[in-house]
Structure 1
Amino acid sequence: MSRLLVIGCVWPEPNSSAAGSRMFQLLQFFKAENYEITFVSAAARSEFAIDLAKLNIASEVVKLNHPSFDEFLKNQQPRLVLFDRFMTEEQFGWRVDKFAPEAVKILDTEDLHFLRKTRTEAYKKNIPAKNLYFDSDVTKREIASIYRCDLSLIISEVEMELLQDSFNIPGQLLHYLPFLLDPISEDKIAELPQFEERKNFISIGNFLHEPNWNAVLQLKENIWPLIREKLSSTQLHIYGAYPSQKVWNLHNEKDGFIVKGRAGDAEKLMQQTRLCLAPIQFGAGLKGKLIQAMQFGTPSITSTVGSEGIAGKLDWNGSICNTPEDFAMAAVKLYTDKDSWNEANKNGYKIINSRFNKNSHSATFSDKINTLIANLTERRQQNFIGKILQHHQHRSTYFMAKFIEEKERKKL
């Protein structure tokens, strides 16, 4: 049985964020491939993290910039190492190269952090994000990390195109791997609540993620008042993990703007709701809330950024709108028009079954890994830029780590 070492940026919380769901899906994939998995992270364990022991996955808290991880690697000698986001590759990649040099290094980008960061900055400055890509330090760091790894997992086709067309990254270093979801059967569809059995609107998203907070503000200030003018008895329920006081302060029962906080059972809540609202103004990757809505038969209204990378050439399961007026008008129509709602409902199932089919994506990913393992030496020889970046990163991070180790030793 081959060993997989996963180095997590945080402990996976599938019920808190799309990133947590993504990591859980990857762990399930590698379990199905019969890997012996160890998950480590330098972050503190979270009370909302999944119980890895129940999945027969070993776990351990490790220290940053500490030689104990070197011994850990020597003992583990993994066949694969999966880095959770580029920051963990920066922190631990050079140690993997030194103490487990034969391990295949896979980077799960989650979403492109430089794209998320520059879009956020561009939104605030009201300028095109592409004006900021090449000057951002995060861009340089993340692209360097991609080159240093043997394979990087990219969650969106839009991000695949950006990396290849704008940054000329070789296709063999990248692999398109969206969310891995079970197909929705006709029997499952028949069990889900229909139009008349649902009511109200929902917005859901982890509040540690700035685009989600911004979307709630858009709803509160610009969109929900327009919807309430037409649908005065409806409510908008706001769910999300880690709400701050400023989120709770938006709660207003008189206006039907109900802040609920963490969703205990997101699946049940989504099934009870007639429409999902997500006016995302910036961000990157795939929006888990919108894909989750499709899984449970809930049409959605979102923006162009929110819909990015999800439907491909298929029809959206609702409407894509970029102004408050259009957004509110589409929401009212879908909420009140049963025929439109039913058509949107069916579109969501089509998107899930054709775009996120776990079986087909898993088979392709498995073949990619096996081919990479069989041709690792040749692939690394072809990636000369990666070798250059490894050389310089190794020197800088090595001396920084040694400096920190010595500093900490003197404190004892």
Structure 2
Amino acid sequence: MTSETLWRTTARETFTAPPLAADRTIDLAIIGGGFTGCAAALEAARQGASVCLLEAQTIGHGGSGRNVGLVNAGLWLPPDTVRAQTGEAAGTKLLATLAEAPSRVFALIDRESIDCEPTRNGTLHLAHAAKGLADLTDRHSQGRAMGAPLDLLDATETTRRTGSTAFHGALFDPRAGTIQPLSYVRGLARAATQAGAHLHEKSPVQSITRQADLWHITSGPHTLRARRLLVATNAYHLALGPAFRPAFVPVHYCQYATDPLPPARRDSILPQGEGCWDTALVMSSVRRDRAGRIIIGGIGNGTGPGSRVHAAWARRKLAALYPALKDIPLTHGWTGRIAMTRDHIPKIIAFGPDAYAIFGYSGRGIGPGTVFGTQAAQALLSDSETPLPLAPIKQHKETAPAAQAAYFETGACLTHALTAR
């Protein structure tokens, strides 16, 4: 099994950019080349601003290029919980904005001709047990009350949609879909460059300071002087000096993929192409790509001490869902990091004048990342918080994030060692 992400193997969008090679004074500096940063760079450039994005590795190196590829509407939390944690008005605004996130993602894909396997056939939130179906029934009621076009499916219909008898039902969201995530973020980067943005790979930031009315961002021997600053590093943040450090719990998510299955074997598995995830506490996901590969994912670090446990679980999970595939090998395995916050609400931190940091999508990076990045660029360039989907705060703290991360990984290892046997 190769440890290279499937998405790097299959990406049709290509993108390369040189390291930062000169000092520059600009309107907006962006740190981080994922969904948020690239969407912000594209929006800022289309508005005519001078913008420069610095990525320490390559575009999509972090969570954006390791994503499951589900373009979801909303957050991981049910709507009533979102409003309870943010307040009625703020929660309603956030939910309404993110309800449109899939439409905005697929519209960007169309507008910029991004070759990323866009499939807008909805998603299925799968009930792994009877209690999971009760949870989905509640989510269905809450979503319908907000006007979301959700359908609650029984076990029979879920079996027809998934090709598996393992589930008690599902919540279908027709607004959502799937993409090839690395191709998508590379396509955003390409479009941003074509619009006039300057993107630089292999350009890690050593320090950020505020001097007079400008932010000074150093990368190697060069300095960007920027009127406005967006930090969009999410779970792949590097030390940037005392200016800002995000607080989140790093949670790993591993994925495993087969080679393309012959049509006779794959046609009954997710025949309509929905992307899926389940209601289990240690969540798992399943989807197909356009070539007919089956991709199984779950919480856990596939490159850490528990790597063999997670890989063995994935093989058993595939066989449990689809017994006809029990002898099909998994040829790709990879892991990404998720920035989890205690309340599972994304954070916009105003850590200085004309400066935002955005992080904490808790596993929902594509839709929220695209929307938050786009609207952060609008807010910074207009000197107004009004475009933001969520009001910025001055700081966010997490209690013992390292201990919480160890707890999640230990739980994932124990669950994966004991289940799907």
Report if TM-score (shorter chain) is over 0.5. no
Normalised TM-score (structure 1): 0.23
- Select the structure with the greater relative contact order (CA < 8 A; seq sep ≥ 6): 2
The structure with the largest strand share of the pair is: 2
The structure with the largest helix share of the pair is: 1
Normalised TM-score (structure 2): 0.23
